[in-house]
Amino acid sequence: MSDALEQFRSETRAWLEANCPAEMRTPQTSEDETCWGGRNFKFTSQAQKDWMDRMGAKGWTVPEWPKAYGGGGLSKEEAKVLSSELRRIKARSPLNSFGIWMLGPALLKFGSEEQKKHYLPQIARGEIRWCQGYSEPGSGSDLASLRTSAEDKGDHYLVNGQKVWTSYADKADWIFCLVRTDPTVAKHHGISFLLFDMASPGVSTAPIKLISGASPFCQTFFDNVKVPKENLVGVPGKGWDIAKYLLTHEREMIGAMDTGDARETMAQVAARKIGLENGTIADAALRTDIIRHEIDAWAFALTMERVKDTAKAGQGVGALSSMLKYYGTELNKQRMELLMSIGGSDGLLWEGDNKGDGDLSRGWLRSRANSIEGGTSEINLNIIAKRVLELPGA
């Protein structure tokens, strides 16, 4: 490692030592302790707020964004050092945000200089919490068929319509939203990418109850919402390009989730719940199913590793990355099914006296959405067939 990088590491370590509150170095015990920031966020403690504010001020919530936009301006190597130092002290994430994950990358690529200067620092500092307005009740996989309209009224757009599956819409400050600005052209060509305040008159939300119980998802309604015209990102009618860019981004993220060291855990769970006989899980048939799953899960994890290593080596990974979402989510569903089988009647609990009762069944049910949200498995198979295998259109 270069001297400069070593220097950066020791400075970082010292800064973190001084600025990361002790409480933020303890493991997070529930979803509720996640920091999302925003105007109305209820911090669980002063430490949580301090941690977000300090990291935000340094731009280290978004280490690789340019300093001019509120980022840390770090190089890839420096960002890696920061990340390893954060892991070293087991620091919690200072800020989770659709702004960081989704809108930021879109603005960096498609936004005007003004937009970047205005919105990105707010995201970096956790001042504005964003939600994403893509899906509509009728659109499903055919996202481009969306019907929420944004009518050009000279100085503003008048937005009318309805979104669905808007995560945390009831808690978000602003929304980045796909709207139809031109209903007269082919469906992919009349879409624009619009930003607006959720506090605008005419915006309302309603939570969605899932089969797994309460959810962060909402229905979001727009009734004559006025949006200043400068809030449009990129070129009017070219919003679909931004959407596609973000969807690919999202697919890779979702496909990459939920693998971790689950591998290890499934066999352990089975050993604990079912017991070992002569060193092997006592239920031979279930053991066979577990082994087959573990083989696939391991092969998938190695494929993820290979994709990363291939990218690092500067080789193209387009063909490989397209499969991650499909295979990863299907595997995770299978994993949850198996964990339910291992759990038997314990897995069927919906709630109970002990902490964790009901987690398995709800997790299982929630996993069924993995292959639907962010592009269904069917859509992903279509994409592989078309873009990777170049099979003719049906």
Partner 1 sequence: MALVLNEDQAMIRDSAEGFFKAEAPTTAFRKLRDSKDATGFDRALWKKMAEMGFAGVLVPEGHGGSGFGYVGAGLIQEAIGRNLSLSPMLSTAILAATALLVGGTDEQKAAYLPKIASGDLLMALASDEKSRHTPNHVATTAAASGNGFKLNGTKSFVLDGHVADKLIVAARTSGADGDTDGITLFLVDPKAAGVSIARQPMVDSRNAAKVVLNDVQVDGADVLGEVGNGWAILERALDAGRACLAAEMLGVSAQSFETTVDYLKTRDQFGVKIGSFQALQHRAAHLFCEVELARSVTLRALQALDEGDDRASIFASLAKAKGGEVAKLATNEGVQLHGGIGMTDEFDIGLYMKRARAARETFGDIAFNGDRLAKLMGY
Beta bridge partners of 191: 180, 238
Residue 82 within binding range of partner 1, rule CB under 8 A:
no
**CB under 8 A: which stretch of 73-81, 191-199, 222-230, 347-355 binds partner 1?**
347-355
The kind and range of the H/E element at 52 are helix 46-58
- Catalytic residue, chosen from 127, 151, 250, 378, is 250
**In contact, 52 and 61? CB cutoff 8 Å:** yes
Residue 376 CB neighbours (<10 A): 16
Residue 341 within binding range of partner 1, rule CB under 8 A:
yes
Which is nearer to a copy of itself, 235 or 391 (by Cβ)?
Answer: 391
**In contact, 127 and 38? CB cutoff 8 Å:** yes
Residue 288 within binding range of a copy of itself, rule CB under 8 A:
yes
**CB under 8 A: which stretch of 98-106, 169-177, 218-226, 279-287 binds a copy of itself?**
279-287
Residue 260 within binding range of partner 1, rule CB under 8 A:
no
185 backbone φψ class: left, alpha, beta (φ>0; ψ -120 to 50): beta
Which is nearer to a copy of itself, 274 or 349 (by Cβ)?
Answer: 274
CA distances (Å), 266 to each of 65, 270, 376, in order? 38, 6, 26
Name the minimum Å distance from CB 199 to a copy of itself.
Answer: 45
Name the minimum Å distance from CB 287 to a copy of itself.
Answer: 7
Is 33 tagged catalytic? no
- Residue 149 φ/ψ, nearest 5 degrees: -100, 145
User: Crossing angle of helices 262-274/284-312, nearest 10°?
Assistant: 170
Would you state the structure tokens that stand for residue 347, as one six-digit string? 């897995």
Residues 150-179 that bind partner 1 (CB under 8 A): 164-165
Query: Pattern 32-71, binding to partner 1, x per CB under 8 A?
Result: ----------------------------------------
Q: Which of 116, 125, 180, 287 binds a copy of itself (CB under 8 A)?
A: 287
Residue 393 within binding range of partner 1, rule CB under 8 A:
yes
**CB under 8 A: which stretch of 45-53, 99-107, 109-117, 351-359 binds partner 1?**
351-359
Between CA 376 and CA 140 the distance in angstroms is: 9
* Binding site partner of 361, from partner 1, a copy of itself, none, Cβ cut-off 5-8 A by kind: partner 1
Would you state the structure tokens that stand for residue 268, as one six-digit string? 């352990």
Q: Residue 374: is it exposed, middle or buried by C-beta count within 10 angstroms (0-12/13-18/19+)?
A: buried
210 three-state secondary structure? strand
Which is nearer to a copy of itself, 164 or 290 (by Cβ)?
Answer: 290
Between CA 103 and CA 193 the distance in angstroms is: 11
**CB under 8 A: which stretch of 28-36, 43-51, 195-203, 377-385 binds partner 1?**
377-385
Residues interacting with a copy of itself, by CB under 8 A? 284-285, 287-289, 291, 394
Supply the residues annotated as catalytic.
250
